[in-house]
Chain A
């Protein structure tokens, strides 16, 4: 056996996982490389992506927004139109097919806001698998509707009380649970994070986004865009949108991360702006941590970006200068949420609103012959309550 770390992106990535998980990770790696090379698997995946999830998603020319901002031409990649309302389904269908191929009848998942949990529960319902979703207790209260949705889909939602009772603790608990039952269970990890091979698997399954953007853009405009903008929490929608463009140096790759109340306050989740190198959840990457290496509590209005780390490939893209990352505050995200809703009639997820906000900053400064693509990772129906709360509007459905 060669003594060498696997799954590295620059200095990041690797497999910082307990010995009790190494066999499961090695089996997953082997199963994935076989599946990746198997045309049958790819055909199955394409079938479910197209016939079940509704791919390819539209690339929409946002004419009103373009005219209003008065700079570059704005296109919106409509991942919000996928089944279950976000890009999460792309990865979940891939991993659930992998579970089926590996003979695993049970799946587990972590979730923050509940989008990945709902997607995992959906795939489990589709493929007749038993599904358990770990969700921070705090988040189960904030996202009661998604908990009910997962229950309707047949999944068991287990509230996690350890630590801060949020997404990072749900990840810890899912990893702990997997260590105990990897023999019959696959962990459907929701973002481009965790120990190798997850960051690679999730990126590959999400890379359909960037491939479609490229083909659709070439068809509509006969050229590549000048920038692709996406929000970054763990980083799966951004990685999916960026990946096919990494070799195309003329395309700026721009990530928008959650600055909460602001990067100079204690309430934010701006890992790229304020984080340092560390190890958590099986990977070396950038994390928000105190001076003793304790992982810090994070905050964002967006539960999907409320994570103290970032995927290792993003950390490497930042170091190499290939991608740029900027913080967007709650206030800017809510403005963008309202803006896109009014100007295009598209209600974006509060996560995706961070990408919209970043576009609103740079588009006006770009020439009119430039083209920007915003990856709209999800729809915003789920966020209507929290935006209302933020705006001080009371909604009573009872």
Chain B
């Protein structure tokens, strides 16, 4: 029997305790691989339940300015999937926190999809979020995700129609990434999406864990949104904190502090 995917085990355990997940993000390699590894462990220690690793790409179409800048910084050094897989394997010696790649499809295509999913399995990557591979194109990797037990995390937007959401829900694995508001990643002051309606619809079609992302930056956001979903995703706010820290120690302290503050409403 296949090993159970860490994403599934994590959400099951939280649901039993009636708790919600804190999902955090960093761009891997910003400012360098070694610091990123320490930051991953720091986030886990401070309470992150799942960590997204952004894979640097020249043209991150779904990202706002903060994460775009992180991609530029990460690409200043030599970085590629072989280096990243090796770093993840090393991380796996110290942590079992679920790890999910956030990346653009060209990186997978260029590496070779089969080799990529085999690499994820070997290194211990549990899932992959591919903003530019929507439902329509997901057949291109679906069989590989099943074969290697590495889930493609599907996204739902406030504009996704009911019919479309149903189809996405039916095939979703791991968790559903529910986009809080239109546009790209980046912090927002408030959200105008009708979450009651959105989640009533999604819950009708699937009981898969659902996480809200895009724009969440403060404990208040988490306090207000946690009732709708199974987890909250924080990206740009963490990347900003990493960029603001002058030394590696500053970065780690800043990220620990922010992660703990974001986790507080979920304790």
Are B109 and A279 touching (Cβ within 8 A)? Answer: yes
Hey, which bits of chain B sit against chain A, CB under 8 A? 57-62, 64-65, 68, 72, 75, 79-81, 104-107, 109-111, 131-140, 155-157, 159-161, 163-164, 166-167, 171, 179, 182-184
**A225, B25: Cα distance in complex, Å:** 58
A162-B65, A168-B59 known; A16 and B105 CB under 8 Å?
Answer: yes
A70 within 8 A of B: no
- The verdict on A4 contacting B106 (CB below 8 Å), with A18-B61, A280-B59, A281-B61 known, is no
Closest 8 CB pairs of A and B: A293-B110, A180-B183, A23-B159, A19-B155, A292-B80, A294-B58, A293-B106, A19-B157
- Is A316 located at the chain interface by the 8 A CB criterion? no
How many A-B residue contacts, CB cutoff 8 Å?
129
Report whether A295 and B59 are in contact in the complex, using a CB–CB cutoff of 8 Å: yes
Contacts of A24 in B (CB 8 A): 159
Q: Name B183's contact: one of A22, A163, A176, A281 (CB within 8 Å).
A: A176
- B109 touching A19 by the CB < 8 A rule? no
Q: CA–CA, A19 to B165, complex, Å?
A: 11
- Report the minimal beta-carbon distance from A172 to chain B, rounded to whole angstroms: 5
Q: Interface residues, chain A, CB within 8 Å of chain B?
A: 1, 3-6, 14-20, 22-24, 162-163, 168-169, 172, 175-176, 179-183, 277-282, 287, 289, 291-295
Q: What 17 new A-B contacts, CB under 8 Å, besides A5-B139, A293-B107? A: A1-B166, A3-B167, A3-B171, A4-B136, A16-B134, A16-B137, A18-B61, A19-B156, A20-B183, A163-B72, A172-B60, A182-B159, A278-B109, A281-B61, A291-B110, A292-B111, A295-B58
Give the distance in Å from the alpha carbon of A143 to the alpha carbon of B91 in the complex.
49
Once A1-B167, A294-B75 are accepted as A-B contacts, the answer to whether A20 and B137 lie under 8 Å apart by CB is no
The residue that B110 contacts in the complex, of A172, A176, A180, A278, with Cβ under 8 A, is A278
Can you name 22 A-B residue pairings with CB atoms under 8 Å? Answer: A3-B136, A4-B139, A5-B136, A15-B137, A16-B137, A19-B131, A19-B135, A19-B156, A20-B159, A20-B179, A22-B134, A22-B160, A23-B160, A176-B62, A183-B182, A278-B106, A279-B105, A279-B106, A280-B59, A292-B79, A292-B111, A295-B106
Contact A175 B110 (CB under 8 A): no
Q: Indicate whether A17 sits within 8 Å of B132 (C-beta atoms), given known contacts A163-B59, A292-B107.
A: yes
Question: A172 and B61: CB pair below 8 A?
Answer: yes
Please indicate the chain B residues that have their CB under 8 angstroms from the CB of A292 in the complex. 79-81, 107, 110-111
CA–CA, A15 to B110, complex, Å? 18
Neighbour of A16 across the interface among B65, B133, B155, B160, CB < 8 A? B133
